[in-house]
Chains A and B, each alone.
Chain A
């Protein structure tokens, strides 16, 4: 049938995918460390159009399509090519909770899940009953030497992500520490947070639960040694979704969708005329 019908439909479908991504951004406008997704579109393969049955130009040999003169290109619509995550920095939100960590700069904190190592920027951590630093879903946060066991009021995370503790109070798990009594007489380095990056950060995959995982294309994570992101204790990184941008996109999506619909209706009207009126005597 008329090619334009399908071109218009492809536009509508692509805009629908866009609004799906947009509303996920809006739903996560309050999720710590959420990184917004953008939709990247690409044109369907374009076709080369040639002139046929033209008296002025001879087609030699007759019927040979390849030798017909070229008119130009014709597009056949659009499709979603990629959902691209923007890893721009989110704003810092002060929480005054010592277990909240925020990263400033590119990098991820490694956590241990049953499916393997995963990576997150959402630093709203807790200690579990055994004293391990865990995420909200109970996954252990990894240091460079494995999971991190610590006590409230007895650990400090510096900008580099190094975790210090006062050796005076380690050992006995039933000996808890209060902020006043801790004088940091025997400060020792406990571990350093495993802050990683990827050779090709664009290709890491979102897993939900604020987690990311490495893929074949992102290549395995490596621990950042130089230019480590700055770790801030007592802060959380807010979502980097900008409501203004998302609202403008929402309007744009809506109107583009309508414009494509109008195209389909125009084709429909033209077709209706051909079918119902041209044949009339």
Chain B
């Protein structure tokens, strides 16, 4: 049958994928540490109907071939790791990375997940965990009798706290951040977490504020870096492109009906 039916269908599927990504971005417009995704498209294989360079006559060659493309396919959804704006929450255990780098948390299976979402909490043992209860790694456990309002986290990740009855702060631990050569290659596993893949490269550990790592900001959260206007424009483009492709399909369809009507 007509190739254009499937070509246009690939276009519609591609735009559907585009809308899916936009919808995901928009639904995460208020998710702390969320990074917007961008679908990238590329054209599909070309079918050669006539090969260039074959003889046209005894002395001349066909200079150009006839190539028909087969449509489009999504090539990647790339996460855009640009800085989100910082929001002052005043919450002691809210942390934001200003610059590049991820927090590391230990998942239930013992493997590590990485996150930009700094909405940390404290569990019953006085240990810093994230919203899902995953432990911040390296572990930070508060000493007995600590005063919650006196927890202090410096820009370079040093955690200190005052113990009741004592005015001198005690060192509790050090929060490190992690960077990747290719952060776009990280795998998103939901819950604001990403995991290492062979494409991202191994994590590089560092003290916040040093050797290219971002600084920590206590009492701040990093907002989503989704831009509503940008997503809306992309949505308009995606919807219209979807319509265009459906027009190509209906036209192909009525052309086939025309061909059908040849024989009465």
Taking beta carbons and an 8 Å cutoff, which residues of A are in contact with B? 12, 15-17, 19-24, 26-32, 34, 37, 80-84, 95-97, 122, 124, 126-131, 136-137, 151-153, 169, 173-181, 202-203, 205-210, 215-217, 243, 246-247, 250-251, 253-254, 257-258, 261, 264-265, 268
Contact = CB atoms under 8 A, between A and B. Distances in A.
B40 A264 contact: no
**Chief secondary structure at chain B's binding surface:** mixed
B7 interface: yes
Contact of B201 (A81, A130, A136, A251): A130
Contact of A206 (B10, B69, B72, B182): B69
A28 B67 contact: no
11 contacts: A26-B8, A27-B14, A28-B41, A29-B241, A83-B67, A97-B80, A129-B198, A151-B181, A203-B64, A210-B42, A216-B52
B67 A205 contact: yes
Nearest to A178: B212
Contacts of A151: 181
Nearest to B214: A178
Of the listed residues B4, B180, B261, B264, the one surrounded by the most CB atoms of chain A closer than 10 A to its CB is B4
Contact of A129 (B181, B238, B254): B181
B130 to A, nearest CB: 24
Interface in B1-17: 2-5, 7-8, 10-11, 14-15
Given A37-B69, A128-B185, A176-B181, A257 B245 contact: no
Contact of A215 (B53, B182, B200): B53
B228 interface: no
B47 to A, nearest CB: 9
Interface string B236-264: 01101100110111011011001101101
Interface residues of B, number: 75
B63 interface: yes
A32 B78 CA distance: 14
B232 interface: no
B43 A20 contact: no
A30 B7 contact: no
B213 interface: yes
B82 interface: yes
Contacts of B240: 243
Contact of B182 (A122, A127, A137, A246): A127
A176 B64 contact: no
A37 B70 CA distance: 12
Interface in B52-67: 52-53, 61, 63-67
A26 B63 CA distance: 27
B251 A27 contact: no
A129 B180 CA distance: 8
A24 B237 CA distance: 17
B67 A30 contact: no
List the 7 shortest-distance A-B pairs measured between CB atoms, nearest first. Answer: A27-B11, A129-B201, A24-B69, A23-B4, A23-B248, A27-B71, A176-B212
Given A27-B248, A209-B75, 15 more contacts: A16-B2, A17-B68, A28-B72, A32-B40, A129-B201, A137-B42, A175-B211, A176-B211, A176-B213, A180-B99, A208-B42, A208-B43, A210-B42, A250-B248, A265-B261
